[in-house]
Homo-oligomer: A and B are copies of this chain.
Amino acid sequence: MKNIIAFGISLFLTTLTLMAQITNYERVNPLIGTNGMGHTFPGACYPFGMVQLSPDTDTVPFSVDGIYQKNVYDYCAGYQYRDKTIVGFSHTHLSGTGHSDLGDILVMPFTGERKLNPGTAENPDSGYRSRYNHSTEVARPGYYEAFLEDYNILAQLTVTQRCGIHKYTFPQDEAQHIILDLNHGIYNYDGKVLWANIRVENDTLITGYRITNGWSRENYIYFAMSFSKPVSNYGYVDKEKVVYNGFWKRFNLNENFPEIGGRKIVSWFDFENDGDKTLEIKVALSAVSTDGAIKNLKAETSGKDFDVLHKNTTEAWENALSVIEAHGDTDQLAMLYTSLYHTMINPSLYMDVDDCYRGIDHNIHKAEGFTNYSVFSVWDTFRAMHPLLNIIDRKRSKDIINSMLAHYEQSVHHALPVWSHAGNENWCMIGYHSVSVIADAITKGIDIDTEKALGAMISSSSIAYYDNTQSYIDLGYVPFEKSSNAASVTLEYSYDDWTVYKTALALGNIDATKSYKKRAVNYRKIFDSEIGFARPKYANGKWKENFNLLSTSDEGFIEGNSMNYSFFVPHDVLGMMALMGGEKTFIEKLDSLFTMHLPDEFFAETEDVTREGLIGNYVHGNEPSHHIAYLYMWTSQPWKTQYRIREIMNRMYRNNIDGLCGNDDCGQMSAWYVFSAMGFYPVCPGTDQYVFGTPYLPYMKIKLEDNKFLEIKALNVSDRNRYIKSIKFNGIKVEKAFITQEEIMTGGVLEFEMSSKPNKQTCYQGKNRPYSMSGELVF
C-alpha cells in the first residue's frame, strides 16, 4: 500500500514536472475568439492595463452617409482573423464587447512610397496597410508579432501598464518611415474625431491627442511618443475640407511644422537609416493631458528598451496567471488560461502615474487612496466577472468598487456605472447592476465605505428618468408601451433591488430594507401564470397579445426570448419556480430549453452569437442565460446541471480562433468558464453562495489571500465522468448545494468524487438548497 502511494506521489510529481515545462503564460492563446463573434483582440496588453496595443485588420465605418454599416460589428476589437491585411497597430481596444469603439492612435511602419490612406482589403496596395500571413503571427500575453509582407518589416509589440512599445525591424538599406493616423478608429464615421493634435517636441519626442465622439460620447486620449532614433522629416494631411484659416496660409504647415492640428489628421514620419535596422517607439497614453502622458512615458519606460519592457510585462502576466494552477489536456488548459487572461483585460486602468484621471464629469480628479478603472460592461460582468475578482484579486475588486463610487459621485445623475468607458457613460443595456457588484463585494467582505455604497445603490435605483424607473416604482413593473424591453428591465430591476434590500438589511437601514424588499419581488408582476413565463404587460394591467415566447423582436425582451429570460430571477428561484407551475413544470421548461429547436427565423433575431452558441433554445452567447444550467440545483435533479455545464464548456469554449460562441463581453464569458471549471458558480451575486456545477479538470489550485490556497480535486473527471458522486471539503462531506465565500477563503481541499452516472439520489432541501428569497417573504 505504501508503495502504491509512493508510486502515486512519484507519478504525480513527474506529471507536475512535465507540466511545469509549459507555463501558464505559454498556455494562453490570445487568438481564441478572434474570428467571428468572440470580439477578442490578439495584441499586447498588461493585466488590467491602460493600453491594448493590437493590429487592426479593417476600418469599417459604422455609418456611411448616415446609413449604419452592419459589418462594423465584426470589428468591435478591430481584428478578424479571416482578414488578410493589417491596417496598423492602434493602442486601445475593448475586449469581447458587443459594441465597438476606440482603436486610438494608429501606427504603421512602411518602406517605399508614402500612402496617406489605409487602402482597402480588396486592394491593399492602394493604401498603407500590409498583407500578412498568420504563419508569422505570434500572440502572447503582453506580446504580439507579425511580419508585414508588403514592406518586409517585422513588427513586434509589447506594453507596460500605460505604454505601447513598438519594435519594427526594417529591411537593410531601406529608408524607415511610419504613418501615425489620428483619423483611424474603430466605430469610425465621418466626424468621429472632433479634434486631433500633434506637437513635434523634438526629433525623438512627439505629443498629441485626439478627442472623439464615438460610443464613448466624448473621449479624450493624449499620448507621448518617443523614437529610438531622430525623425528627419515629417508632415501630414488633413482630410477634412480646409476652412478659411486666416494667416495660417503664410507658411507651409504641412511639412516639418511642429504643430499639427485638424479633424482628420494622417501624419508621416521619416527616419534616417543609420545602419540600425530597428526602430523602437514608445507610446504612453493619458486621459488627462500630454503632460500626463509624458509622466507616464518617463515613469514606465525611461532607460528601458523593448526587450527589457517585454520581459517585465511577461513577468507581470506570469504572476497574474499564477493565481490558478491546473491540470488538464492541452486544449483544456489553453482554454482555462486564456479565459483567465480574458478576465484580466477589462476593466482597464484609467489613471496616470500621478493618480490623476478624467472623471465622468469631464473634470480632472486625483484618485485618493485607490486606483481608478474604466470600461464597466456591468450588465455582463456583474454575473461572474466581478464575483471572480472577489476571490482571486480582492485588492483590485476594491479599487474597482471605489472607481464605481467615484463615478457615482461625479455623475450628474448620481448614478453608478451602467456601461461606461473612457470617462463617459454610454447607457448600454439595461438595469442598474452596479448595485449587484457592490452588494456582492460587501457580502464578500471587500473593505469599502459601505454607507456611501448603500447611498449610491439607493440613488442609482431611484432615478425617475432612467429607463422607466419611475414607472417601475409606480406600477411595480415597466409597462410595455414605455419600453420594448419592458419585461427584461422589470426582471433585472427586481433582482437589482434585491441586492439593495440585502445591503440595506445588513447595514441596518430599515426604510430601505422594507422598500427594496418589496421591489425585489416585482418580477412576479410580469409573470403570466397562465403560460408560466414572464410576459410584457401594459400599464392598464393587460398582457401583450399575440405573445411569442421564442422571439426577441419587440416581445418585451432584449438579448434573450421569454423562454430564456424568464429564468432570470436568481434571487428567488423558488418563487419563480412556483410561478412557472412548480418543480415538475420548471424542470420540463429547463429541459426543453436545452433540447428544443430554435427555428431560423428566431435565431436570426438572436444578437451576438453563432449557431454554435446555441444548445436548443439555450443561448450561451448572451448573458441572461449564464446561470440557467445551474438552476437544476434547486430541483430534485441537480445532476442535470452537471450534464449541461460540461456540455456548455465543451461546445461553447474551444481552443480556436472561433472558439467563443459569442462576445466575450469584457471577460464575462471567460469568467463563467473559470468558475464553471472550478465546479461552482455565483448564480446570485450578493449572496455568499457559489452553487455547485461540476468540476471540469482533475486538479485546480486557486491562490487566495494570505498565502492560502483552495485545491479542487476531481481525479477521474472526464466527459464520461461528469457526474458528481460526492463532495468533501477539507475531508468533511458536503451536504449543501453550494460552497460559501467564507469556506473558499478559508482554503483547503475541495474534493469531488466523479462518476459516469448521475447521482439521482441527491436532492438539496432546506438550508442545503441554494439561497432563495422565498423564505424571507414576510412583509
> Chain A interface (Cβ within 8 Å of chain B)?
62-63, 66, 68, 99, 189, 191, 194-195, 197, 199-201, 209, 211, 213, 215, 217-218, 241, 243-244, 246-248, 250-252, 256-259, 261, 263, 289-291, 361-364, 412-413, 419, 425-430, 465-468, 483, 485
> Which residue of B191, B200, B211, B250 is within 8 Å of A467 (Cβ)?
B250
**CB contact under 8 A between A247 and B427, given known A363-B291, A465-B257:** yes
**CB contact under 8 A between A213 and B200, given known A66-B241, A244-B68, A289-B363:** no
Of chain B, the residue at the smallest CB distance from A468 is B251
Once the chains are docked, how many angstroms separate the CA of A250 from the CA of B558? 12
**CB contact under 8 A between A252 and B465, given known A194-B195, A197-B362, A261-B217:** yes
Once the chains are docked, how many angstroms separate the CA of A362 from the CA of B363? 15
Contact in complex: A194, B217 (CB < 8 Å): no
Once the chains are docked, how many angstroms separate the CA of A252 from the CA of B99? 21
Q: How far is the CB of A321 from chain B (nearest CB, A)?
A: 33
Contact in complex: B252, A218 (CB < 8 Å): no
Q: List the B side residues contacting A195 at CB < 8 Å.
A: 194, 211, 213, 218
Once the chains are docked, how many angstroms separate the CA of A289 from the CA of B263? 22
**CB contact under 8 A between A243 and B199, given known A211-B211, A289-B364:** no
Contact in complex: A250, B194 (CB < 8 Å): no
**CB contact under 8 A between A258 and B413, given known A194-B195, A243-B189, A468-B251:** yes
> Which residue, A63, A200, A259, A466, has most C-beta atoms of chain B within 10 A?
A259
Q: List the B side residues contacting A252 at CB < 8 Å.
A: 465
Contact in complex: B243, A290 (CB < 8 Å): no
Once the chains are docked, how many angstroms separate the CA of A201 from the CA of B413? 9
Of chain B, the residue at the smallest CB distance from A259 is B412
Q: List the B side residues contacting A199 at CB < 8 Å.
A: 361, 412
Q: List the B side residues contacting A429 at CB < 8 Å.
A: 247
Of chain B, the residue at the smallest CB distance from A484 is B250
> Which residue, A412, A430, A466, has most C-beta atoms of chain B within 10 A?
A412
Once the chains are docked, how many angstroms separate the CA of A63 from the CA of B63? 27
Q: List the B side residues contacting A241 at CB < 8 Å.
A: 66
Q: List the B side residues contacting A291 at CB < 8 Å.
A: 363-364
Contact in complex: A247, B211 (CB < 8 Å): no
Once the chains are docked, how many angstroms separate the CA of A430 from the CA of B250? 9
Q: How far is the CB of A373 from chain B (nearest CB, A)?
A: 21
Q: List the B side residues contacting A257 at CB < 8 Å.
A: 465
Q: List the B side residues contacting A361 at CB < 8 Å.
A: 199, 290
Once the chains are docked, how many angstroms separate the CA of A263 from the CA of B289? 22
Q: List the B side residues contacting A244 at CB < 8 Å.
A: 62-63, 68, 189
Of chain B, the residue at the smallest CB distance from A201 is B412
Once the chains are docked, how many angstroms separate the CA of A364 from the CA of B220? 14
Q: How far is the CB of A638 from chain B (nearest CB, A)?
A: 37
> Which residue, A99, A189, A213, A247, has most C-beta atoms of chain B within 10 A?
A247
Of chain B, the residue at the smallest CB distance from A411 is B259
Contact in complex: B258, A426 (CB < 8 Å): no
Once the chains are docked, how many angstroms separate the CA of A66 from the CA of B361? 35
> Which residue of B66, B243, B247 is within 8 Å of A63 (Cβ)?
B243
Once the chains are docked, how many angstroms separate the CA of A246 from the CA of B68? 11
Q: List the B side residues contacting A248 at CB < 8 Å.
A: 426-427
Top 9 closest A-B pairs, CB basis? A194-B194, A199-B412, A291-B363, A247-B428, A258-B412, A289-B363, A247-B427, A68-B244, A194-B195
Q: List the B side residues contacting A290 at CB < 8 Å.
A: 361-363
Q: List the B side residues contacting A66 at CB < 8 Å.
A: 241, 243
In the complex, besides A68-B244, A200-B412, A259-B413, 17 extra interface pairs with C-beta distance below 8 angstroms are A62-B244, A191-B243, A194-B194, A195-B213, A201-B412, A215-B246, A247-B419, A247-B426, A247-B428, A248-B427, A250-B430, A250-B483, A256-B465, A259-B412, A289-B362, A289-B364, A290-B363
